[in-house]
Every structure is written in structure tokens, then in C-alpha cells.
Amino acid sequence: MNQEPMRIPQATAKRLPLYYRFLQNLHSSGKQRVSSAELSEAVKVDSATIRRDFSYFGALGKKGYGYNVNYLLSFFRKTLDQDELTEVALIGVGNLGTAFLNYNFLKNNNTKIEMAFDVDENKVGTKIGDVPVYHMDEIEKRLEEQNVTVAILTVPAQVAQPITDRLVQSEIKGILNFTPARLNVPSSIRIHHIDLAVELQSLVYFLKHYPVAEQEE
Ligand code: ATP
């Protein structure tokens, strides 16, 4: 019988990497069980939400016992495709792009930036953090040669859409967009948008208008 892959709500799916990272730490410190209250404190998600999230994948914590760390870890590993390496390309080797190339994403995830692209002749042909930088002219050919399915965009906003249009023609399935540009893509491609300036501004706004409660002594 053909089993449908399990669908979990998107909000739950977004919290999985957070849970996964914390459980990995627990596992390496030798802990076998964890309560939803402990998890809640560590990942700053309320325990009712955690219990509901975990119930989607059949992990039913027992009162006074908590959750089995090994069971949860192996579930997350499968769900988050941690056993399979996702190859990533980075486009735009400026300040932000360079920082990402030097950052070891493999530490926590099974994702690896395999190649980078730029139009600046001073950057093309170099290696940053072991990642080769190729010219944009080669992008279609290079992406085709390797199984790259995710692209990180750290280019100036005004060139983001034309570059995205080229990516759409390739095997790229997901784009992590760090430019302020809102990009048009067909529904077969998923875009996550991270605008660091907007995030910072929003944090400052919240601090001003919704001050956090003072910790009681
Ligand atoms: P830097 O100080 O190195 O210029 P930056 O982050 O301030 O970094 P940006 O102007 O944001 O620079 O550009 C980011 C990177 O995107 C640069 O390395 C630039 O050469 C590259 N870039 C610009 N246009 C394109 C393009 N059409 N295709 C690919 N890369 C591009």
C-alpha cells in the first residue's frame, strides 16, 4: 500500500530545526529524556504548543517521564532530511555573501554551500572558505553539473529578479533571499525572505512599543 507522506502544519515544521538543535545538545550530554517544560524553557516555545507539535509525529510524552530523546532525534533526522546532504549555491560574494561562505553550515545542518557566483573579476577564480567562486556566465552549466537545489541570494536588490529568472530555468527548488527585493517565481519554487535591516528595525520597534517585562528577583 502506498502511504501518503505525513503532512505536519507549516508552523510546526518551522519549529522542528529549533527542537532538533536542542535535542542534539541533550543527546550529546547523555540525557535520555526531556519534559515539555524543560524543552519549553530552552527553546522559548510554550509547552502546550510543544505538546501539540510533538503529537503530530506520534511522540506522546508520558506524565512524569517526558519524551524519549533518541526517538525524537531519529524522527527529526528523517523529517528534516538530515541524512541527505542538500547542496547550495551562493550568488553575490559581497560582505554578507563572504560571511556565509566562511560559516560552517554543516555544524548544525546537512546543508553545504558547494559553489558561489559573482560578476566581479577580482572575486571570480578565488576560493573563500574552500568554496570556489565562478563567473555568473557559468551558472547554468555549473548548477547542471552538480545536484544543487537551493540558492542563497546576496546580490544587490536591483539584479535579484533577473538572476532569479535564470535560477527558475535550473533545478533550483528553493531560494533564500537576503535582498530587499520581492521576487516573482512560479509556484513550484519556494522562496524564504530574510531582510536583516527590516528584522533589526522590527526588533527595535517592539522594544520601544512592547517593552519586555522586567525579570522578577
Ligand atoms: P562589497 O563590499 O564586496 O561590494 P557589498 O555586500 O557591499 O559587498 P553589494 O553591492 O551588495 O556589495 O554586492 C554584493 C555582491 O554581489 C558583490 O560581490 C557584487 O560583485 C555582486 N554582484 C553584483 N551584481 C551581480 C550580478 N548581476 N550577478 C552576480 N553577482 C553580482
The C-alpha atoms of residue 201 and residue 198 are separated, in whole angstroms, by 5
Confidence of residue 2 (pLDDT cuts 50, 70, 90): very low
User: Is any ligand 1 atom within 6 A of the Cβ of residue 159?
Assistant: yes
Please indicate if the annotation marks 90 as binding a ligand. Answer: no
User: Is any ligand 1 atom within 6 A of the Cβ of residue 50?
Assistant: no
Task: Name the residue with the closest Cα to ligand 1, atom 10.
Answer: 156
How many A from CA of 154 to the centre of ligand 1? 7
For residue 172, pLDDT beyond 80: yes
Q: Which domains, ranges and CATH numbers included, belong to the chain?
A: 10-79 (1.10.10.10), 86-199 (3.40.50.720)
* Amino acid 9: pLDDT: 85
Please indicate if the annotation marks 174 as binding a ligand. Answer: no
User: Is any ligand 1 atom within 6 A of the Cβ of residue 125?
Assistant: no
Please indicate if the annotation marks 93 as binding a ligand. Answer: yes
Instruction: Say whether pTM exceeds 0.90.
Output: no
ipTM value of the model?
0.93
- Listed as own residue / partner, the contacts of 10-19 with beta carbons closer than 8 Å and 24 or more positions apart are 12/52, 12/53, 12/56, 15/43, 15/45, 15/49, 15/53, 16/76, 16/79, 16/80, 17/80, 17/109, 18/43, 18/45, 19/43, 19/50, 19/53, 19/72, 19/76
What type of residue sits at position 117?
A: F
pLDDT digits (tens, 9 = 90+) for 17-69: 889 889 999 999 999 999 888 889 989 999 889 888 888 877 666 666 788 89
> In b/e form, how buried is each residue of 68-96, taking b as 16+ CB within 10 angstroms?
bbeebbebbbeebebeeebebbbbbbeeb
Confidence of residue 106 (pLDDT cuts 50, 70, 90): confident
Please indicate if the annotation marks 92 as binding a ligand. Answer: yes
Q: Which atom of ligand 1 is nearest to the CA of 162?
A: 27
Residue 28 grid coordinates: 550529546
